[in-house]
Amino acid sequence: MRQSAIFLVLFSIFGYIAAKYPTDLMRCHFGDTNCLKRTIGEYAMKFKGGRRDLGLVPIDPLQVDEVNIDQGGTSPVNINLKLRDLKCHGLSQATIKNVVGFQKDPATSKFEIYAKIATISMVGQYKARGNILLLPIVGNGVANLTFDNVDASIKFLPKVEVKKGKEYLRINELQLDFETTRLWMNFENLFNGDQMLSQTTNQFLNDNWPEILNELKPVLTKAIGGIYKAIADPIFNKFPYEELFLRDDE
């Protein structure tokens, strides 16, 4: 899930606004969190197809090249899972619940976004080998991971760079977290295409999704957070922080 994402659209939208602000679109004043909530939600839908010339990638579907989960040790979920060529659907339907910070001084401001997304589905290729709750897992093929009622948050610590007298925002450290009421999983071609074993295994995974997600979540959020940071940093690097917002006299 190279996003969710709604977090990516926030970063990309700010870059789009700063490049050359269109008169038919809305910007916000520093710290105007009510304005930011409305604006982010509107732009998530309006620009879901992206604007590549300005660095705004399509977010619905969001194309994810690769996510690797390699978890071992004493965890009951001991698995090497590689996901690639993922398409993530649903991010443009996010409802922004709250925005915190985004004050005039980026060095001291908080940067937090909270969103709710009805459904996020990720479909792509997988390769897996290991054990989940003592059940052996091996296979490769098409995977579908669908999350219902996602409550997501993203927080990042800023780093400010000065170029030609202008302050640019960079992400020093990013933290992603989420909760979901249900995770649905389907892995095709498990055990070299054995239909009975595949059905039994997928049923087991879906029956035990809370325990599985609990074990994988720290690794998953770290991997996805790193992807968001790598995508957002170049966008922020293009535009001075002050140009992302309205001036006091506007």
- The rounded radius of gyration (Å) of the Cα atoms in the chain is 20
d(CA 111, CA 113): 7
Q: What is the pLDDT of residues 177-188, one digit of tens each?
A: 999 999 999 999
Nearest to 20 by CA among 250, 243, 249: 243
Predicted structure pTM score: 0.82
Q: Where does the pLDDT of residue 42 fall: very low under 50, low under 70, confident under 90, or very high at 90 and above?
A: confident
Helix, strand, or coil (residue 13): helix
- Beta bridge partners of residue 30, listed in sequence order: none
pLDDT the model gives residue 225 = 79
Q: What is the pLDDT of residues 52-86, one digit of tens each?
A: 655 667 888 888 888 888 887 777 888 899 999 98
Domain ranges in the chain are 6-244
Cα torsion 230, 232, 235, 241: sign = negative
CB 77 within 8 A of CB 212: yes
Stated as kind and residue range, the H or E segment containing 57 is none
Q: Tell me the residue type at 130.
A: G
Report residue 45 as tokens: 């839908």
Q: Where does the pLDDT of residue 11 fall: very low under 50, low under 70, confident under 90, or very high at 90 and above?
A: low
Report residue 214 as tokens: 């609990």
Cα torsion 89, 42, 94, 246: sign = positive
pLDDT the model gives residue 205 = 93
Q: What is the pLDDT of residues 221-244, one digit of tens each?
A: 887 777 777 767 777 777 888 888
Q: CA dihedral in degrees (130, 133, 137, 140; nearest 10)?
A: -90
Q: What percent of the chain has pLDDT over 90?
A: 46
Burial level of 105, CB count in 10 A (0-12/13-18/19+)?
A: exposed
In the CATH scheme, what is the code of domain 6-244? 3.15.10.30
